[in-house]
Amino acid sequence: ADPAMCSHSRRAQLRLCLERLKGLVPLGAAAGRHTTLSLLTRARLHIQKLEDLERRALHQIEQLQREQRHLQRQLEKLGMERVRIDSIGSSLSSERSDSDRGESPGGGTASGRSG
């Protein structure tokens, strides 16, 4: 392989990578006239900004997950309370039906008399 040819293809590859990088990095007003150094500096700053945003987003996700677990526990607690209230309600209604049953034999004798 010709060393000059390798060097040329390496430069072409670098140019292509820099063009791709230009498309990924917000350059603002200086988009037209940038040096390789300024492009790489912008890229580094952009990456740092993205990493910072990612850290903040992860922190927010953790907070929301904690809040979700807390709310889930409260919901379960409310569910258990409702079950308890429902069971109290059903035991009250079963007591009421017992007293209703106590009166029904009298009603039964009345219907028996008529028959």
b/e string for 5-28 if b means 16 or more Cβ within 10 A?
Answer: eeeeeeeeeeeeeeeebeeebebe
The closest of 71, 66, 18 to 42, measured between CA atoms, is: 18
Which position has the higher pLDDT, 107 or 34?
Answer: 34
What is the distance between the alpha carbons of residues 99 and 79, in angstroms, rounded to a whole number? 30
What is the distance between the alpha carbons of residues 19 and 12, in angstroms, rounded to a whole number? 11
The CA-atom distances, in angstroms, between 25 and each of 9, 35, 44 are 24, 14, 9
What is the distance between the alpha carbons of residues 21 and 23, in angstroms, rounded to a whole number? 5
What is the distance between the alpha carbons of residues 40 and 43, in angstroms, rounded to a whole number? 5
**pLDDT-based confidence at 106, cuts 50/70/90?**
low
Q: Which two tokens stand for residue 11?
A: 């430069």
Please say if the pLDDT value at position 44 is more than 80: yes
Q: What percent of the chain has pLDDT over 70?
A: 78
pLDDT value of position 10 = 92
**pLDDT-based confidence at 31, cuts 50/70/90?**
low
**pLDDT-based confidence at 46, cuts 50/70/90?**
very high
pLDDT value of position 93 = 78
Q: Which two tokens stand for residue 88?
A: 């109290």
* Residue 77 one-letter amino acid: K
Please say if the pLDDT value at position 49 is more than 90: yes
